[in-house]
Amino acid sequence: MNTVATTTPVVTSVAKPTTMRSARGLAYRGIRNIRRLPSAFFPAMAMPVFTMIAFAGTFAAITRLPGFPTDRSVNWFMPLGICFGAAFSGIGLGFSTIRDIETRFYDRLLMSPAPRRSLIIGPLLTAWVRVAILCAFVIPMGILLGVRFTSGLLGLLTLVVAALGVSTISLGWGLGLAFRFRDMRGAAVMQLTMFVVLYLSSAQMPLPLMRGWLHNVARINPTTNILRLSREGLVLPTSPDYMSWSNTWGGLLAIAGMSTLTLVFARRGLNKLDK
């Protein structure tokens, strides 16, 4: 009697794994992998630091251009570095998924009764944790190098939101490609496309200071809005790009739209893999 009473709830909990419980399990696994395989996470940490230091130093003189929104090059390039790192955090989980598919671990996940949604939400939670670690490391380093938030904590918040958004988009894209390619050929496509999409925006220069074809491309590239969101708390209060709702909603909309598209792309890829 006593035994039956104890066993029943256990059986129920195993038989009906919820999406969030499975996703948490996968997220823990992803976070443990950061410690077990630091070489896989290292590029996502090194890249933003390198981008921030190298770009801010090499292109320091661009702040002397009339109309440049900040007088500190590091203020301009730190958000770019963080967005790059966030993109690589998401893509890095695409690489891990390819490795899991190649080693047949993913087959075991597909055979388990875990809800399919959790196979996307789990890595998404890991990507967000990676972004949190990234921001906790890069932002203090940026402050040491001379970064100043011109609109206080709100600027920090918009930067973190933009980074989380970029990681969500890149994760959806990375998983979608991983489920379709199923081998490391997909890794090159993931990196190349994210790299190109980020660069074909206001990554290096503000939109009004660009000329020619890049200006036309950056103007319609939604990533420009996300970068504007990430930088609005770091530009001068006199700049038109300074913290305001009109500089915020475009970025939020771009994150929502691109995240939805890439996550749907990932889900459809997972369905194909499942078949």
Residue 158 carries which side chain, given as an amino acid letter?
Answer: T
Residue selected from 13, 38, 57, 102 as contacting another protein according to rule CB under 8 A: 57
Q: What is the DSSP letter of 112?
A: S
Residue selected from 7, 8, 21, 65 as contacting another protein according to rule CB under 8 A: 65
Residue selected from 28, 50, 105, 137 as contacting another protein according to rule CB under 8 A: 50
Closest separation in Å from C-beta 204 to another protein: 4
* CA pair distance 219, 239, nearest whole angstrom: 18
Candidate segments 58-66, 76-84, 111-119, 157-165, binder of another protein by CB under 8 A: 58-66
Q: Say if residues 224 and 207 touch (Cβ distance below 8 Å).
A: yes
Indicate the burial class of 77 (C-beta count within 10 angstroms; 0-12, 13-18, 19 or more): buried
Q: Binding string to another protein for residues 180 to 219, with x set by CB under 8 A, is what? A: ----------------x--xx---xx---xxxxxxx----
Phi, psi of 113 (to 5 degrees): -80, 15
Q: Binding string to another protein for residues 224 to 263, with x set by CB under 8 A, is what? A: ----------------------------------------
* CA pair distance 179, 272, nearest whole angstrom: 8
Residue selected from 28, 59, 105, 137 as contacting another protein according to rule CB under 8 A: 59
Name which of 201, 203, 249 is nearest 82 in CA terms. 203
Interface residue list for another protein (CB under 8 A):
46, 50, 54, 57-62, 64-65, 196, 199-200, 204-205, 209-215
